[in-house]
Amino acid sequence: MKDRTTQRIDGKAYFWATAQQALEKLCAYEETGLTPERAAGLAAAEQEGRLVVLPCKIGDTVYWVYEFSTEVLQGKVQAIKISEYGIGLDIVQIRRGRGSTSTWCSAEKVFLTREEAEAALLALKEGPANGREVDVDKGTA
């Protein structure tokens, strides 16, 4: 059994660990704050494809880099849209001295820290010609 310390057989509960191991697992579970009903509901939603983990929340500052960018762009998430194409973010970008603009960006193309976005920008500038693979969609370089 995968990482389980308990099993129900014929309606009876058994555990397959030392008392200390079982206690550690119970403590870790209780520290999540989840009730058994909530955990079961989340597990069912995940299994049915109804559970979505958002990359950020409305009001968060995010950073992104377009394919031909020369700089890291920064903005605040104004709305989050879930569609058959994935998760999209409506981001308000404050432009120095030029007001603000609103743009939609795929959640896979945003970063939660400036450092991650700068690393992606550097990888784009260096490109595969210098031996660095670039995958802005996944936020890795």
CATH of the domain at 133: 2.30.30
- Is 76 in the same domain as 35? no
Q: Do 105 and 60 touch, CB atoms closer than 8 A?
A: no
Please check whether residue 55 lies inside any domain of the structure.
no
Residue 126 forms part of a structural domain:
yes
Query: Could you give the count of Cα atoms lying within 13 Å of 28 in the half-sphere of its Cβ?
Result: 9
pLDDT, tens only, 21-32: 888 888 988 999
Q: Has this prediction a pTM greater than 0.95?
A: no
Average pLDDT score over residue span 41-45? 95
The domain of 21 spans: 6-47
* Structural domain contains residue 90: yes
Predicted local distance difference test score (pLDDT) of residue 69: 72
In terms of domains, do 39 and 76 share one?
A: no
DSSP 3-state assignment of 39?
helix
Q: Is residue 67 part of a domain?
A: yes
12, 76: one domain: no
Each residue of 79-120: pLDDT tens digit? 999 998 889 999 998 777 676 788 888 988 899 999 999 998
Question: Could you give the number of structural domains in the chain?
Answer: 2
Q: Does residue 56 belong to any structural domain of this protein? A: no
Beta strands in the chain (DSSP E): 6-9, 12-15, 61-64, 73-83, 86-94, 100-106, 110-111
Confidence band of 137 (pLDDT split at 50, 70, 90): low
Hey, how many other C-beta atoms are within 10 angstroms of the C-beta on 56? 18
Q: Is the pLDDT of residue 61 over 90?
A: yes
Rounded mean pLDDT of the chain?
84
Are 86 and 25 found together in one domain?
Answer: no
Same-domain pairing of 116 and 69: yes
Q: What pLDDT was estimated at residue 67?
A: 72
